[in-house]
Amino acid sequence: MTTSFMRSAHTLFTSESVTEGHPDKLCDQVSDAVLDAILAEDPHAHVACETSTTTGLILVFGEITTETYIDIPKIVRQTVKEIGYTSAEYGFDYATCGVVTAINEQSPEINYGVRKGEAADVEAIGAGDQGMMIGFACNESPDLMPMPISFAHAMTRRLADLRKSGEIDYLRPDGKSQVTVSYEYGKPAHVPTVVLSTQHDASVPQERIRAELEEAVVRYCVPDHMLTRELNLYVNPSGSFARGGPMSDAGLTGRKIIVDTYGGIARHGGGAFSGKDPTKVDRSGAYAARHVAKNVVAAGLADRFEVQVSYAIGVIEPVSVHIESFGTERVDEDLIEKLIHQHFDLRPGAILRDLDLRRPIYRQVAAYGHFGRPDLDLPWERTEKAEILRQEAGVSADQVPSAG
């Protein structure tokens, strides 16, 4: 997303989402379910849990250092059941799939770099790895997320809701959405194209699926004023999608990092989230960066805002902080950066403390996005610092634009 985007008279941008039954998302949820189970008993555990799946098999592997014991196969099967793979008719189900584990302890060198000595205070916790994390926010939607990814997530969540409630009984767990938004001078104008794919009962004709999903999903999720122009709608564009999930495609933790974040409209540091305990700055640093960006936009300091925070393994202070407001700032960027340093402590230990991250809260964000999420009370989504930022920046309340 560049400043030129804001000056373009017309441009298109597309984002995608996937349902919780998508093979990659299934793996993300298994990894975070394992993490949550461990953190519930041992908040200081170090977890790097990966999952892969293919026809009839789930493999859980990685490095875990903990003082507790959990039954990983039981957690795997329960997670797969809750996702919706409950029948052999789907080609994959929780009761009959094989579960294999290959777990080692975390490297002692990494463990020492993260936690120097026995103290667990802010001054004793270094970053769990090097890397750069990105936070982004914009005032296109009430949750201060880009509109394409907001609509895409809304559609995949709606598919899951319709399936689980039985309102549309032929839907199956696997599915995808893709939403294109037309922008005029950086502002969303309308939605010209939607792609919607869903696994389904083999006996249901595609014409019925298309007609019902247009009304029950697309027009349910996108306001009428955004669909005032002719809509190009593709539902199961390749035809039948009766065979889905791990039966038709392998899955792996961390392969949907753009779905997890901002739909591609912001930059990405490259690190995945799921299966990692919050000492890993791939996760906690990205959450903290979103917290910064959302508060800056909520305060009205900028309409679009991106922050990059970088770390070195074992080092307590961030290596760098970089900001970008794409020409939408209402005050000087130097002042915004100064206020960030004054009001946000981006040291790994401080992030753990201030966002209260040593808790089992991660399975719930392993599908449908880690950011936005008005359905959840996530600490990195709160805007408790917006008012003080607005006051100290000298932005009047009537200068803060409404979102959406």
Q: Which residues are catalytic?
A: 22, 24-25, 50, 63, 176, 241, 249-250, 255-256, 276, 280, 282
d(CA 50, CA 3): 37
Give the phi and the psi of residue 234 in degrees, each rounded to 5: -120, 115
